[in-house]
Structure 1
Amino acid sequence: MSPSNENVISFLPLGAIIREFCVAGYNIVQGFSTQDQYIKYNTPYFGATIGRTANRIKDATVKDLNGRTYTFAKNNGPNLLHGGYQGWDKKIFEGPTPVNRNGREGLLFKYVSKDGEEGYPGTVEVRVWYTTSKEQVETAIEKIVLGIEYEVEFIGNECEETVVNVTNHSYFNLSGGPTIEGTEAQLCTDKYLPVDSNGIPEDKVQQFKRTDVTKPFVLHPTEPDIDDCFVMDEDPSQVPLDTRSRPLRLLAQFKHPSSGLHLEVHSTEPAFQFYTGKGIDVPAVEGLPARGPGSGFCVEPSRFINAPNQPEWKHMTLLKKGQIYGSKIEYRAWKEPWNE
């Protein structure tokens, strides 16, 4: 990343992707230059809207939905991952349409997901609002705030219910270099969902013990190797289908001592997947360098893994006729002025 004096945020209709998030001229998200490059090379899901269901669904199957069992693509071992082979990350959204959302200038992207797409029942419309603003922290420090609001409405008459779990899959890099080496991370919870060898929760919420994540710890390209779902709400019964009425909560914060870049991730969601990027493998692409292990990290606010198949979690992903699913994410980033 080469710095300039600009704060630029840009998007693409493909997957309503966040293509650039520039802070003091540093683009802190991984991505590509053109939409065609995303279509050809975006196996890590750089910047994309993930749906109809984010994360993994056990055995690519959802039971007891509309009184039957639905089977989906097994695109991650025995499981369904991130909505299937042609999830929302690969769909062309309508937009961007300029809007004023909650008093902020923004852009709206929309997509209609038809009944039967990737095996999901019911026709739904997903709406994604991006808003940008600035927040003064200190006299010489200004945070760039990128807000995301998701809304999914059941608009079809084909059945009575479907399942939804939406997130953004941006990979962040605050180092100014090819990897996240030296980034200081701190999560706001050490509660997580232990998973089996296929990435499916095998037990109740436990304490994460491999690293003390609630105190500052340093990221390296391959260590610590974290790809886990951390839990903000230990009582799933209190999680509504539309979380937007809840206050935004800080999930995680990051900074890099050399670049002076900071990032906070806030959301209304009950959980988030934290991934340190060990599996990234993108070849050099038309003037862009190769991206390998640790070239970025993800914080993916969402519902619990495999929630549609867990009776005590199912309600947070079960969208019925006349209902609306909703959530909010907010990224706040800034650069220390003495690091110019």
Structure 2
Amino acid sequence: MSIAIPDSKGNLGDVVLGKDTLSEYFNDGCYFGPLTGRVAYRIARGRFSLDGRVYHTYTNDGRNTIHGGHRGFSKVIWTVKEYVGGGHSPYITFFYRSFDGEQGFPGELEVYATYQLSSPYTLSVRTNATALNKATPVNFLQHLYLNLGGQGSGDVLGHTLQLSASRYIPLDDELLPSSGRVVPVAGTNYDFRTPVPIGARIRHVSGGKGLVGYDTSYVIDGVGMRKVAAVRHSASGRGLELWANQPAMQLYTGNGLNNTIKGKAGKVYERYGGFCLETQGYPDAVNHPEFPSQTLRPGHVYKHDMDYKFSF
């Protein structure tokens, strides 16, 4: 819901966009801050085939499913399994047991999510899931909207961004990887291999659905826990490195924020008022056998780790 960190002058600021009340979060269509699943991002036409059987998931994004359906993991009640509020590395662990057929997905799934201050300015998010009795697709993402200048302080177009990604996955107007292609970023407006202001080329890219901006799936170079992205805001002196162990990431630049979205403390969020770095598996992998599989077999464990390393 919030992350308060100092700027270069020692002034604390909340760098996460969000809402003031529970009811506003429950009715939030922008996904401010949640962990999403059972399958984050989109499933084309709300259907997939697994082990010879066709499954239909709840469609809540036109013809498609997004972030697990209308009552995905961001809309359910989790149980607090463990909480340590003091010491050098306070943390909280949440648990959710997803039932067979929830939102159309097969099999029971046990999920744990731990949020920990692993150092004074590092927020670690550790998620894992175990399929209990049926194979099922699993793909989580953390949908934080960040603005290192402070939430509600304006747009993020002046933030400099560097991504560890030499390839990206072209998406169609419904933001689906319909072609199944993975192509180089070299020579395109999607190249962030060296630090570039987010707004430098944003007017020349399509975020789908008629919107201008980045809503782009990147393939992250390397494997295992590694640096995915680095962001810096020169005016505040704040910086962020994101480390993760997933193969892909969605860069979203708040294209759908439109100067009418009311946020925290009376702020109104303008277009490009926040950016999201959503590490995940390949989009719609369950319908693309050419992509790395996101299918979790019974007894196997899915693990998704993230470290948000802030500096100032």
Q: The TM-score by the shorter chain falls in which range?
A: 0.7 to 0.9
Identity of aligned residues (%): 30
CA distance, structure 2, for counterparts of residue 200 and residue 168 of structure 1: 19
Q: CA deviation at 1:288?
A: 2.1
CA distance, structure 1, for counterparts of residue 90 and residue 267 of structure 2: 33
Indicate the residue corresponding to 2:2 in structure 1.
Answer: 20
CA distance, structure 2, for counterparts of residue 48 and residue 118 of structure 1: 18
Q: CA deviation at 1:223?
A: 2.9
Residues 91-170 of structure 1: matches in 2 within 5 Å?
Answer: 91-95=76-80, 97-98=82-83, 104-134=89-119, 144-155=121-132, 157=133, 160-170=134-144
Greater shift, 284-293 or 193-202, is seen at 284-293
Task: Look up the SS of the partner of 2:68 in the other structure.
Answer: coil
Residues 28-47 of structure 1: matches in 2 within 5 Å?
Answer: 28-40=15-27, 42-47=28-33
Indicate the residue corresponding to 1:219 in structure 2.
Answer: 198
Letter in 2 for 1:106: Y
Structure 1 residues 213 and 256: alpha-carbon distance in aligned structure 2, compared to 1, 3 A threshold:
same
Task: Look up the SS of the partner of 1:20 in the other structure.
Answer: coil
CA distance, structure 1, for counterparts of residue 176 and residue 264 of structure 2: 37
Deviations 1:151-189 (A, max 9, x none): 11123x4xx311100110001001231321421111111
- Is residue 58 of structure 1 aligned with residue 32 of structure 2? no
Residue 164 of structure 2, aligned match among 185, 188, 213 = 188
Indicate the residue corresponding to 2:278 in structure 1.
Answer: 300
Q: CA deviation at 1:21?
A: 1.1
Residue 204 of structure 1, aligned match among 173, 181, 191 = 181
Letter in 2 for 1:309: N
Q: CA deviation at 1:67?
A: 2.5
CA distance, structure 2, for counterparts of residue 286 and residue 272 of structure 1: 27
CA distance, structure 1, for counterparts of residue 306 and residue 297 of structure 2: 23
CA distance, structure 2, for counterparts of residue 36 and residue 249 of structure 1: 37
Q: 1:175, 1:182 within 8 Å by CA — same for their partners in 2?
A: no
Structure 1 residues 129 and 214: alpha-carbon distance in aligned structure 2, compared to 1, 3 A threshold:
same
Structure 1 residues 257 and 309: alpha-carbon distance in aligned structure 2, compared to 1, 3 A threshold:
same
Q: 1:132, 1:146 within 8 Å by CA — same for their partners in 2?
A: yes
Deviations 1:287-318 (A, max 9, x none): 52221311100000000011111223353x11
Kindly report the root-mean-square deviation, in angstroms, between the aligned alpha carbons of the 2 structures: 2.2
Letter in 2 for 1:76: D
Letter in 2 for 1:127: Y
Structure 1 residues 314 and 231: alpha-carbon distance in aligned structure 2, compared to 1, 3 A threshold:
closer
CA distance, structure 2, for counterparts of residue 174 and residue 233 of structure 1: 25
Task: Look up the SS of the partner of 2:124 in the other structure.
Answer: strand
CA distance, structure 1, for counterparts of residue 246 and residue 289 of structure 2: 19
Count of paired positions: 290
- Which structure 1 segments of 5+ residues have no match? 1-18, 135-142, 235-245, 336-340
CA distance, structure 2, for counterparts of residue 173 and residue 221 of structure 1: 17
Q: CA deviation at 1:130?
A: 1.0
CA distance, structure 1, for counterparts of residue 63 and residue 292 of structure 2: 20
Indicate the residue corresponding to 1:261 in structure 2.
Answer: 238
CA distance, structure 1, for counterparts of residue 221 and residue 286 of structure 2: 17
CA distance, structure 2, for counterparts of residue 20 and residue 248 of structure 1: 25
CA distance, structure 2, for counterparts of residue 127 and residue 310 of structure 1: 27
Structure 1 residues 211 and 115: alpha-carbon distance in aligned structure 2, compared to 1, 3 A threshold:
closer
Q: 1:251, 1:267 within 8 Å by CA — same for their partners in 2?
A: yes
CA distance, structure 1, for counterparts of residue 182 and residue 215 of structure 2: 15
Residue 89 of structure 1, aligned match among 68, 74, 81 = 74
Structure 1 residues 307 and 114: alpha-carbon distance in aligned structure 2, compared to 1, 3 A threshold:
same
